[in-house]
């Protein structure tokens, strides 16, 4: 459940410059929700209307793609906080 988006998180940090901690947490939350949904769906704990339309084998692949996409879009949508200058901190 926790390892579903690790490759996507690595790719977000390696290939983009916009990813920060807030974007990564958005992606992690979405990936964990997605993984939980697919696991509960394939164990028969959810109604048929909410069942996953793909095999459980693809959960890791889709989770990594979801982590990268949601992390990237979250980084673009969330305003970036600027670090405090040392000159401003001294005043």
| Residue 17 domain-assigned (yes or no) | yes
| Residue 46 domain-assigned (yes or no) | yes
pLDDT in tens, the chain (91 residues): 667 788 999 999 899 888 888 889 999 999 999 999 999 998 989 898 888 888 888 998 999 999 999 999 999 998 776 665 555 555 5
pLDDT confidence of residue 71: 93
Distance CA 18, CA 57 (A): 30
| Residue 30 domain-assigned (yes or no) | yes
| Residue 38 domain-assigned (yes or no) | yes
CB 10 within 8 A of CB 67: no
- The number of distinct structural domains making up the chain is 1
Whose structure tokens read 């109604």?
A: 47
| Residue 87 domain-assigned (yes or no) | no
pLDDT confidence of residue 2: 63
**Full domain range(s) for residue 22:** 6-78
Distance CA 1, CA 9 (A): 14
């Amino acid at each position: 459940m926790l390892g579903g988006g690790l490759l996507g998180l690595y790719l977000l940090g390696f290939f983009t410059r916009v990813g920060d901690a807030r974007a990564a947490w958005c992606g992690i939350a979405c990936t964990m929700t997605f993984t939980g949904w697919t696991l509960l769906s394939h164990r028969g704990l959810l109604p048929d209307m909410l069942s996953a339309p793909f095999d459980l084998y693809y959960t890791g692949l889709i989770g990594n793609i979801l982590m990268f996409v949601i992390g990237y879009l979250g980084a673009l949508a969330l305003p970036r906080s600027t670090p405090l200058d040392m000159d401003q901190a001294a005043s």
